[in-house]
Structures are given as structure tokens and as C-alpha cells.
Amino acid sequence: MLFHTMVGSNDIERSKNFYDTVLGTLGVGEPMRNIADSGHTRLIYNNGNGTNFIVSQPINDEPATVANGSTVAFSCNSPEQVKQLHDAAVANGGTSIEAPPGPRETASMGTIELAYFRDPDGNKLCGIHFPK
């Protein structure tokens, strides 16, 4: 359903270092570097299934800000990968938030593995795994 999700960055090279490592734990390779017609840089990460995660300098030249109530969740293959994603984020300038990585009981989805963290610009991210 989604083609891409985009977050803003105030320091595109810092974001590249962060996301190269964090998304690398999911097997995502180097991003395509796109220069918009406005001259602003975008990093386009593609996982091969047709969806993209994009990090962009805001094209209106205003500072990148965090969307209140928004979370970008990355699908993980295992509970261990949820923790790896979280730990890579924290080791590369991210901040762990909410409860530590681990299982969460939900009424509608059963037990799921979650880890919440923020990137260096404050965007809220999540690693999630649904057991089979």
C-alpha cells in the first residue's frame, strides 16, 4: 500500500551514518543519493520489495521537526533482530524510549516484540516482529 515513508533531517550526513548502520541490520544496503530540483539532498533506502524509506533535507529550508504522534515501524524477522535494530540505533546516536526492547502483550494481536527509539533528529522509530 505504501510507496515510501519520509522523515526530515537537519544533518543529512549524520542521518546517513545512522540509517546506514540501523537499516543495515535489516539487510538494507546503501541509499541512492538524490538531489532534488531545489538542490536538497534525499537518501532513498529501498529494501527490494517496492517500498522506500527516505531521509530528506526539508525543501522549504525550514528546520526538520518531529511529527507528534507519528512512528515509523520497521518489520524485523525475529525478536533478536528487533533488539539488534534498537541496539544499533542507540550505538549510533539514537535514543531508546518507552520500555526496553522485548515482548508486549496486546489484546488484538497477541504477543509482539517491540523496540522504540528516536533517530538523532528526534523521529520516532520502532522495530517490530509478529511471531508466527
Q: Give the gyration radius of the chain's Cα atoms.
A: 15
- Kindly report the average pLDDT of the chain as a whole number: 94
Residue-level length of the chain = 132
Question: The pTM is what?
Answer: 0.90
Q: What whole-number distance in Å separates Cα of residue 64 and Cα of residue 17?
A: 17
What is the per-residue pLDDT for 65? 93
Q: What whole-number distance in Å separates Cα of residue 10 and Cα of residue 26?
A: 24
Contact 26, 73 (CB under 8 A): no
* 1 pLDDT more than 80: no
Amino acid identity, position 48: G
Of the candidates 12, 104, 107, 88, which has an alpha carbon nearest to the alpha carbon of residue 125? 88
Tens digit of each residue's pLDDT (9 = 90 or more) over 48-80: 887 899 999 999 999 999 988 899 999 999 999
Q: What whole-number distance in Å separates Cα of residue 115 and Cα of residue 97?
A: 8
**What element of type H or E holds 34?**
strand 32-35
Mean pLDDT score, 103-108:
89
Domains and CATH numbers, the chain: 2-57+70-127 (3.10.180.10)
* 20 pLDDT more than 80: yes
Instruction: Compare 36 and 81 and report the one with higher pLDDT.
Output: 81
Contact 115, 101 (CB under 8 A): yes
Sheet of 32-35: strand order equals 4-8, 52-56, 41-46, 32-35
